[in-house]
Amino acid sequence: MIVLGIETSCDETAASLVADDRRILCDVVLSQIEEHRPYQGVVPEIAARSHLDHIDRLIVRALDEAQCDWDDIDGIAATAGPGLIGGVLVGLTTAKAIAMVRNLPLVAVNHLEGHALTARLTDGIAFPYLLLLVSGGHCQLVVVEGVGTYRAYGGTVDDAVGEAFDKTAALLRLGYPGGPAVEAAAMRGDPTRFALPRPMAGRPGCDFSFSGLKTAVRHAVAALPGSAADPDSADDLAAAFEEAVAEVLADRAANAMARFRDEFPGGDQFVMAGGVAANARIRAVLSSLATAQGMAFIVPPAELCTDNAAMIAWAGLERLRLGLTDGFDFAARPRWPLDALAAPPAPAP
């Protein structure tokens, strides 16, 4: 079985073909970074227009790269939310048109489910597992019990962790996009020069908070001579910020691991996913935590942590295998929490 996946929910136009034996036949990602750079952030109208300009050719390129024909495809999956609605509409409408013309099943995929199931594509792991989902719009600890069955142990009470990276990059004038810029600066910096808070650390539960950390960075910058960060201070602050984030994520994840193992005796898989999971320092700290707790640490390669269409094709494939397809009346959703997903019907007795 081969599924075409389409991803257009933010600033990447992407198409991918994935087979049910976990082979990624092609994974084409077109970044819009240069189009948004002058604004230091994603402009929704520019994003939607750019998706529309490129999606057709990108899909043809995906078929070419995979050396596939339309007749080889068994289903079409597209991100149907959450995300910037203009972009989501472009991808979902394209998918509906192809499915209609080719008489193929359509799967409307939740973008977060794409991130959540990527570890099953890359590592073939079984359910259940504990997931730390860290992206530009989300920061959650989630139990993944099956396709469509997600239960949050906790989430952020204010900013998402990727958002905190992006805002910190802006405060430190490190450029856009923020996450990779902070990571590069942090590698040059000294994490001990500035003392930043560890919001929520040591408290019971699995919730996160990042707005205080961002404010602490702002105060630290304001206290510098000239109220702006010189390159060395920017590097040191980036390093201190990254370290604080890594420690907070590990502190909250440790609580989630204890709860997970209470609920699932023998449960020993800890997965990280989403754009921030591309960060090498955060990967290292959470990997050590998992090892110390006797859990296997599974994280997809960086290019499958940030937005891509292989994860959408794979989530579509997982749903298709269970007979979970969607109608052409499926409406794009700007908001769509992971734990609101319908569980698949119970198998017939």
Positions touching Zn ion (CB under 5 A) are 135, 307
Q: How many residues bind ligand KG4 (CB under 6 A)?
A: 19
Q: Please tell me whether residue 82 binds ligand KG4 under the rule CB under 6 A.
A: no
110 binds, among Zn ion, ligand KG4, none (CB under 5 to 8 A by kind): none
Q: Which is nearer to ligand KG4, 3 or 278 (CB)?
A: 278
5, 86, 105, 136: residue in contact with ligand KG4 (rule CB under 6 A): 136
27, 243, 307, 318: residue in contact with ligand KG4 (rule CB under 6 A): 307
Shortest approach of Zn ion to residue 275 CB, angstroms?
A: 6
Long-range contacts of 221-225 (CB under 8 A, 24+ apart): 221/171, 221/172
In Å, what is the CA distance from 7 to each residue of 80, 111, 122, 213, 324? Answer: 9, 8, 18, 31, 19
Integer Rg of the chain from CA: 20
| Residues contacting residue 68 through CB under 8 Å, at least 6 positions apart | 2, 17, 25
- Give the range of 90-98, 133-141, 189-197, 231-239 binding ligand KG4 by CB under 6 A: 133-141
183 binds, among Zn ion, ligand KG4, none (CB under 5 to 8 A by kind): ligand KG4
196, 276, 299, 332: residue in contact with ligand KG4 (rule CB under 6 A): 276
Give the C-alpha separation, 146 to 143, whole Å.
Answer: 9
Q: Which is nearer to ligand KG4, 113 or 318 (CB)?
A: 113
Question: Which tokens sit at 185?
Answer: 């600066």
Give the C-alpha separation, 106 to 284, whole Å.
Answer: 38
178 binds, among ligand KG4, Zn ion, none (CB under 5 to 8 A by kind): ligand KG4
Shortest approach of Zn ion to residue 284 CB, angstroms?
A: 22
Amino acid letter for position 323:
G
Give the C-alpha separation, 228 to 221, whole Å.
Answer: 6
- Residues 163 to 222 in contact with ligand KG4, rule: CB under 6 A: 165-166, 177-180, 183
Kindly provide the residue ranges of all beta strands, DSSP E only, lying in 86-242, ordered along the sequence.
106-110, 129-134, 139-146, 149-155
**Interface ranges with ligand KG4 (CB under 6 A):** 10, 135-137, 162, 165-166, 177-180, 183, 274-276, 278-279, 306-307
